């Protein structure tokens, strides 16, 4: 075999800018094309230390080097199965690319051009446009700051493949087939793994939405997919499926921006403990918190905080069942659909009093262990928040949050650290799984 034969492996020439830090341009193309078993040969049009989304960066225009750079490829007699052109910064660079295509193109060379035109995606004008668009979307759709907003090219049909390619980690996903678009997405997913038809309305020409309250979803399913609004047949989900903790992926292209997004707001009104407000809590702060909790879907106060919110005297030594129930009903007047008053002293147990608009008032309890420690409320509310997003039953969520807090305290006690230092949740984090 000729050791100077550089064309034994298929190659794609990528003509684009290069950022050393920040996943974009050549830094993206190189690993992806290489992973797909094609040699990626890069022609930088400019070099950045890091992309221009950062406040400071190094930039060098590579136009003056491109022709000499390419001439050495000619000497090596390189041949390309593909030529991919991206961002070009000047008319001169366009001319260089034209010459490159003429010089290296063969009968079986595919030329792919991403015609980045109009304005640079790194320009201040574009930056202002995209930031304003994101801000408008967040306001209109009530998208919290902890959610990312992505602007992607392509429509819903392109997502039929992108979703399983990115989310089907266990190579298994459930699909509810309620129309032609859901059917196409289901068929596309079969290419990438095991697509399971969880429910369908094909028996009556997609004229209804099937019952999705108790779907038979395999535990190792990566997600459940629906098309929320089926425009061809005029059916729309009035209630989202019970995914039993699995991620829900919804094609909302036909109802996008037509209705509010169901964002869960969980508030842990951290105000005080042991019958007293924390030193930082003034009367004004307490009044402000009373205004804030009106926005909550779920509230997780301790007994002290429940009393402050309802202007109820803190006398736990005299409290009986009806007093806790009265507290819950008073808090419910703020508008929360689910409330749990946490960690009530019940002898050898800690009791949670729970209000649920759908199920009424009930209790759960956990055997008391160790010392009262800082941070347990934060651990508890974090699990409640995650479970709410996963649509976990509230009673089950409270039970497993309490159980996990107990594990945290038990392992923390073995380290003999001060109660104010919090709980060593890291030691048992591996036991926390999505239901």
The full set of domains in the chain, from first to last, is: 11-113 (3.40.1190.20), 156-251 (3.40.640.10), 266-431 (3.40.1190.20)
Q: Is the pLDDT of residue 77 over 70?
A: yes
Q: Is the pLDDT of residue 128 over 50?
A: yes
DSSP structure string for 360-413: EEEEEEEE--S---TTHHHHHHHHHHHHHHTT--HHHHHHHHHHHHHHHHHHHH
pLDDT digit string, tens, across residues 274-287? 888 888 888 888 88
- State the pLDDT at residue 263: 67
Least trusted range by pLDDT, from 30-44, 137-151, 343-357, 402-416: 137-151
List the alpha helices (DSSP H) in 168-273. Answer: 180-189
The pLDDT-based confidence of 72 (bands split at 50, 70, 90) is very high
pLDDT digit string, tens, across residues 113-124? 765 444 456 655
As beta bridge partners, residue 61 has 46
> If you average pLDDT over residues 1-21, what whole number do you get?
79
Q: Report the alpha-carbon distance of residue 149 to residue 133 in Å, rounded.
A: 10
> If you average pLDDT over residues 36-47, what whole number do you get?
88
- State the pLDDT at residue 18: 86
Q: What's the Rg (C-alpha) of the chain?
A: 29
Question: Please, what is the Cα angle at 280 between 278 and 285, to 5 degrees?
Answer: 100
Q: Is the pLDDT of residue 1 over 60?
A: no
172-177, strands of its sheet edge to edge: 194-200, 172-177, 223-227, 247-251
Q: What is the pTM of this model?
A: 0.46
Q: Report the alpha-carbon distance of residue 370 to residue 413 in Å, rounded.
A: 6
CA 419 to chain centre: 34
- Token look-up 């196409």 returns 184
**Average confidence score pLDDT of the chain:** 86
> If you average pLDDT over residues 302-306, what whole number do you get?
93
pLDDT digit string, tens, across residues 332-346? 999 899 999 998 988
pLDDT digit string, tens, across residues 145-176? 777 888 776 666 788 998 999 999 999 999 99
> If you average pLDDT over residues 311-321, what whole number do you get?
92
């Amino acid at each position: 075999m000729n050791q100077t034969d550089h064309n034994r492996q298929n190659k794609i020439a990528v003509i684009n800018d290069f950022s050393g830090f920040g996943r974009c341009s050549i830094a993206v193309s190189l690993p992806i094309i290489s992973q797909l078993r094609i040699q990626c040969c890069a022609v930088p049009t400019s070099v950045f230390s890091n992309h221009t989304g950062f406040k400071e960066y190094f930039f060098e225009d590579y136009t003056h080097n491109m022709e000499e750079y390419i001439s050495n490829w000619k000497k090596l007699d390189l041949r390309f199965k593909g030529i991919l052109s991206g961002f070009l910064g000047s008319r001169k660079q366009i001319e260089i690319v034209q010459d490159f295509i003429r010089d290296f193109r063969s009968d079986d060379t595919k030329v792919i051009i991403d015609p980045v035109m109009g304005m640079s995606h790194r320009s201040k004008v574009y930056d202002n446009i995209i930031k304003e668009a994101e801000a408008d979307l967040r306001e209109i759709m009530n998208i919290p700051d902890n959610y990312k907003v992505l602007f992607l090219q392509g429509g819903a049909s392109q997502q039929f493949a992108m979703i399983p390619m990115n989310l089907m980690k266990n190579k298994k996903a459930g699909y509810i087939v309620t129309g032609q678009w859901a059917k196409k997405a289901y068929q596309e997913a079969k290419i990438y793994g095991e697509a399971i038809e969880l429910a369908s309305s094909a028996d009556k020409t997609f004229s209804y939405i099937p019952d999705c309250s108790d779907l038979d979803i395999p535990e190792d399913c990566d997600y459940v997919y629906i098309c929320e609004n089926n425009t061809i047949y005029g059916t729309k989900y009035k209630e989202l499926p019970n995914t039993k903790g699995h991620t829900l992926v919804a094609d909302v292209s036909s109802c996008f921006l037509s209705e509010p997004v169901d964002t869960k707001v969980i508030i842990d009104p951290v105000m005080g403990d042991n019958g007293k407000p924390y030193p930082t809590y003034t009367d004004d702060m307490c009044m402000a918190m009373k205004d804030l909790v009106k926005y909550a879907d779920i509230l997780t106060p301790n007994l002290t905080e429940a009393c402050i919110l309802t202007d109820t005297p803190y006398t736990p030594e005299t409290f009986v069942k009806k007093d806790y129930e009265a507290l819950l009903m008073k808090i419910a007047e703020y508008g929360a659909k689910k409330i749990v008053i946490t960690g009530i002293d019940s002898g050898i147990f800690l009791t949670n009093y729970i209000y649920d608009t759908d199920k009424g008032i009930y209790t759960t309890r956990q055997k008391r262990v160790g010392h009262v420690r800082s941070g347990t409320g934060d651990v508890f509310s974090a699990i409640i928040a995650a479970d709410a997003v996963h649509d976990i039953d509230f009673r089950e969520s409270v039970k497993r949050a309490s159980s996990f807090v107990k594990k945290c305290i038990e392992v923390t006690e073995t380290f003999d650290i001060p109660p104010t230092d919090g709980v060593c949740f890291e030691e048992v984090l591996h036991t926390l799984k999505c239901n």
